[in-house]
Structure 1
Amino acid sequence: MADPTYGARHIAIIMDGNGRWAKRKHLPRALGHKKGVEAVRNIVRTAGRMGIEAMTLYAFSSENWNRPEDEISDLMGLLRQYIQSDIEEFVENGVRLKVIGNYKALDTDIVEMIDEAIEKTAGNTKMTLAVALNYGAQDELLRATHYIAAATQSGEIELDKLSIEHISNALDTADMPPLDLLIRTSGELRLSNFLLWQAAYAELYFTDTLWPDFDQGELEKALKSFGSRERRFGGR
C-alpha cells in the first residue's frame, strides 16, 4: 500500500485566510476564525490517520498583537474552547501537545490550561502537534543565541566547536523531526517569520485555498506534490 504521507514526517502550516473567507461570505470576521478552528480539528485528525509524525501550526504570531483588540479577544476565546474541547481526544488518539513561542505571555488562565494539556499528553507518541503561539522565528533565533552565548561563557559549549546541531538543539522544535513540508494557504507567497531556520531545506507548498476550506483533499494534494519532488539538500 502506498504511503499517504509520501515520506513526510513533519509538516507545518501557515493557516491564512480566515478573514477573507468570512468577507467573501459576508460574515463577521469572528466566524471566519471559528471556521478556521474547525479546519484545524479536521486536519489534525486527518494527519493522525495518515501517519504524520509531527505537525506544526502557526496559530498566533508575535506580530498578531497589532490586530484590533476585539479580534484578539475572539482568537483567545477560541483557543480556550479548543483546548477544553479537544484535550481528551488528544489523549485518546495518542497526540502529544507542544507549544512553541512565548506562550507564557498570554493570559494566566490560558497559560494554566496549556501547561495542564502539555502535561496530560506528555506520554503520547503517535503524533506531536506543535502549536505556535506568540511565536516569531526571529525571536526564536534570538532566544537560541542567548542560550548558546551563555553556554559558551559557562564552558558548556566550546566556541570553536559550535555547530549547526547546537543551534538546532536550542530551538523550540529541538525534539521534533526535521521539517519536510511547509504549507501556506490563501495564496500568499511568504514565510511571515515562521520556522525560518527549520525551513532551510523544507519543501514549500502554496495554495490559493483559504484556510477554512483546507480539508483532507487539500492536504493530500500538498503531500502528493511533496512526493513528486526530488529533495537535493544542496547536494547537486
Structure 2
Amino acid sequence: MSFHVAVIPDGNRRWARMHGLPVLAGHKKGGQVLERLIKDITGLGELGIDCFTFWGASVANLTKRPLEEINFLNKLFANGFRALANNQAIHQYQVRVRVLGFWSLLLGKDAQKSIKEAMETTAEYSRGMLNFLVAYDGTEEMLQAFKAVVEEAKIDASLIVTRQTIKDRLLTKELPPVDLVVRTGGEPHLSNGFMMWDAADAQLFFLAKLWPDFTSDDLRQAVINFKSRKRRFGA
C-alpha cells in the first residue's frame, strides 16, 4: 500500500524578515532545504514514503507577488528542475518526477524547459513518486474537473458520474490519496483548497518551524506521530 506525504512549505518570507534579509533570500534558503530532503531520499524510503508531494508555488504566488519575486521563483524552478533531471539519487532509486499545476501558462520558457526535462528523464521510473505542485490552486483544480464533466455530459447524456469520474479529471489523477499533510510556519490550516479531493481523509501535522528551518528529522517526527494515530476514515 502506498504511503503518500504532502508538504505545504510555509514561511520563507517570514524567515527572511526575521533574519533581516530580503525576501528572495528566504526563497533561496527554502529551495536549499528541499534539495537536502531530496538528497535524503533513502531516509524517506526507510520511513516507507513512496509518494512525496511538495507544493512549490500557488497561482497567487506567481501572479500577485512583486515582479522581482516572481522572476526569482522562475529562476529557482529553472535551476532546481534542471538539477533534479541530473540528480543521481533520483535515477539510482528510480523515482518518477511529476510537476502538476498550471505552470505551462504562468512560468517562463526556461523554467518550463527544465520541468519538462525532469519529467521526461524520469518518466519510465516507478519505484517512487516525487511530485511538485507548481502554479497550483486546489479550488481551480476542482472547478476545471467539474467543468470537464459538464462538457462531457453534454456530448454523452448517458455519462454516469462517480467519484472516479471526478478523480480522473483532476491534475492529480495519477496520484494515490494523501495520507499525511505536513505544514510548516505555525498556521494551522490548509490553503487554496490544497489537494481537497486527495487529502479528504488525510491526517494533518502542523509545525511551528518556518520552512527554511525544516529538517529531515522534522519529517521523520511527523511520520512517527502519524503512525501513532488511529485513523478512522470518517467512521
TM-score by shorter chain over 0.5: yes
- Scaled by the length of structure 2, the TM-score of the pair is 0.90
Matched AA of 1:150 = E
Matched AA of 1:78 = L
CA distance in 2, matches of 1:116, 1:146: 30
CA distance in 1, matches of 2:217, 2:208: 14
Q: CA RMSD in A?
A: 1.7
Q: 2:23 aligns with which of 2, 19, 29?
A: 29
Residue 204 of structure 1 pairs with residue 198 of structure 2 = no
Contact 2:180 2:202 in 1 (8 A): yes
Aligned to 1:189: 188
Contact 1:48 1:127 in 2 (8 A): no
Q: CA deviation at 1:99?
A: 1.1
CA distance in 1, matches of 2:207, 2:43: 22
Residue 177 of structure 1 pairs with residue 176 of structure 2 = yes
CA distance in 2, matches of 1:48, 1:59: 22
Aligned to 1:61: 58
Structure 1 runs of 4+ off > 6 angstroms?
Answer: none
Residue 15 of structure 1 pairs with residue 9 of structure 2 = yes
CA distance in 1, matches of 2:2, 2:20: 37
Aligned length: 227
Structure 1 residue ranges without an equivalent (≥5): 1-6
Summarize deviations over 1:39-90 as a string: whole Å, max 9, x none: 1112233344332111111111011121111111111111111112221113
Q: CA deviation at 1:142?
A: 1.2
Which secondary structure does the structure 1 equivalent of 2:86 belong to? Answer: helix
Aligned to 1:124: 125
Q: CA deviation at 1:231?
A: 0.8
Which secondary structure does the structure 2 equivalent of 1:60 belong to? Answer: strand
Which secondary structure does the structure 2 equivalent of 1:117 belong to? Answer: helix
CA distance in 1, matches of 2:93, 2:43: 10
Which secondary structure does the structure 1 equivalent of 2:98 belong to? Answer: strand
Q: CA deviation at 1:131?
A: 0.8
CA distance in 2, matches of 1:189, 1:50: 24
- Aligned residue runs from structure 1 range 1-236, under 5 A: 9-51=3-45, 52-64=49-61, 65-89=63-87, 90-105=90-105, 106-155=107-156, 158-159=158-159, 161-193=160-192, 194-235=194-235
CA distance in 2, matches of 1:198, 1:205: 16
Which secondary structure does the structure 2 equivalent of 1:201 belong to? Answer: coil
* Percent of paired sites with the same residue: 35
CA distance in 2, matches of 1:82, 1:185: 21
Name which structure has the greater RCO, CA cutoff 8 Å, separation 6+. Answer: 1
Contact 1:10 1:178 in 2 (8 A): yes
Q: CA deviation at 1:185?
A: 0.2
Matched AA of 2:184 = T
Which secondary structure does the structure 1 equivalent of 2:56 belong to? Answer: strand
Q: Which moved more, 1:197-206 or 1:101-110?
A: 101-110
Structure 2 residue ranges without an equivalent (≥5): none
